[in-house]
Amino acid sequence: MKVILMSRADSAATWAEELRRQAPDLDLRVWPDETEGVDPAEAAYVIAAKPPPGEIAKLPNLKAVLSLWAGVDHITGDPDYPRHAPIVRMVEEGLTRGMREFVLAQCLNAHLKTYEFVQQQRQQLWRPEIRGRHGTEPLVSDARVGILGLGVLGSDCARALTAVGFRVAGWARREKRIEGVDCRCGPDGLQAMLAQTDILVNLLPRTPETEDILNADLFAALPDGAYLINVGRGEHLVEEDLLHALDTGRLAGAALDVFREEPLPGKHPFWTHPKVTVTPHVASITRVRTGVERLVAAIAAFERGETPPGVVDPSAGY
């Protein structure tokens, strides 16, 4: 039983080292250097981060494809993906905590207008009033955060934001119950949430239903001066609609971590837009030690004939 690590990232060697440390009995082969001459029929598991299209289809006897990332659109989006084996998305503590820290920071930055003060500094401007009238500056308890997606990451961020004192609502496909969070679902639920959202956080997976969801209609449903934080996927955002909403003052600003094209091309208007903060897809990544613990546990579960957590529903795409 062979396990193929299929990652084009520089970190492949680090993953292989930790996998061999935690599971020395695993017959691990790093693609492509260590898979030459290996019979494709012997591959039982693929551990993948953005596998090249068509490569997984060459392995006919897979028991599962284990994603190194929480989002699996890089696997389901492969037109040749054979759907002969379940996909397991990454759910692990380090990834969840990293996203919590990033989203908390961006919500606080939006609330405190940190990036507007950075712009002011560049122009040597002293305008404290952008935080509100002196003595009535809003506190987090005045700020309403709406989260698109209440899955592993969205629900964790919702709880953390609630604990800090934000007023938090969230939207998912199915009904949810999270203490202190106004949970919504369905098209009406979305509109109701958007109408009461000052800071919108996108933590949806990329599926055919969610692509382009951050568009002019959605921005029109937000109160004037709302702020967007996109940590989902670049394909969720209609970029021209965002630029228009920022330039007309509909939205106050946006913190963008993910893009249709990554790295973001040099001439892209987001780089220099005064109301946009760009981060290079760093909101959260899988931590190697805890991530490998999950991978090893998932393989063990399959070998016992059990289903590990995080198996993707192929009809929903996440």
Name the segment binding ligand NAP (CB under 6 A); options: 16-24, 80-88, 147-155, 259-267: 147-155
Q: Tokens representing 140? A: 């987090």
Cα–Cα distance between 298 and 231 in angstroms, integer? 26
Catalytically annotated residues:
233, 281
Q: How far from 9 is each of 46, 48, 125, 235, 258, CA to CA, in Å?
A: 15, 10, 43, 21, 17
Check residue 75 for interaction with ligand NAP (CB under 6 A): no
Asked if 214 and 242 count as a contact pair (C-beta separation under 8 A), the reply is: yes
Q: 44 — phi, psi (to 5°)?
A: -100, -35
Residue 98, SS3 per DSSP: helix
- Footprint (CB under 6 A) of ligand NAP, residues 209-248: 209-210, 231-233
CB of 309 to ligand NAP, least distance (A): 10
Q: How far is the CB of 200 from ligand NAP (least distance, A)?
A: 14
To the nearest whole angstrom, how small is the minimum distance from the Cβ of residue 102 to ligand NAP?
8
Residue closer to ligand NAP, measured from CB, 34 or 101: 101
**Residue number of the CB atom closest to ligand NAP:** 151
Q: How many CB atoms lie within 10 A of CB 306?
A: 9
Which of 153, 183, 214, 242 binds ligand NAP (CB under 6 A)? It is 153
In angstroms, the CA 118 to CA 200 distance is 21
Q: How far is the CB of 175 from ligand NAP (least distance, A)?
A: 8
Binding mask 241-260 for ligand NAP (x = CB under 6 A): ----------------xx--
Q: Which phi-psi region, left, alpha or beta, contains residue 212 (left: φ > 0; alpha: ψ -120 to 50)?
A: left
- Binding-site ranges for ligand NAP (CB under 6 A): 70-71, 99, 149-154, 171-174, 203-207, 209-210, 231-233, 257-258, 281, 283-284, 318
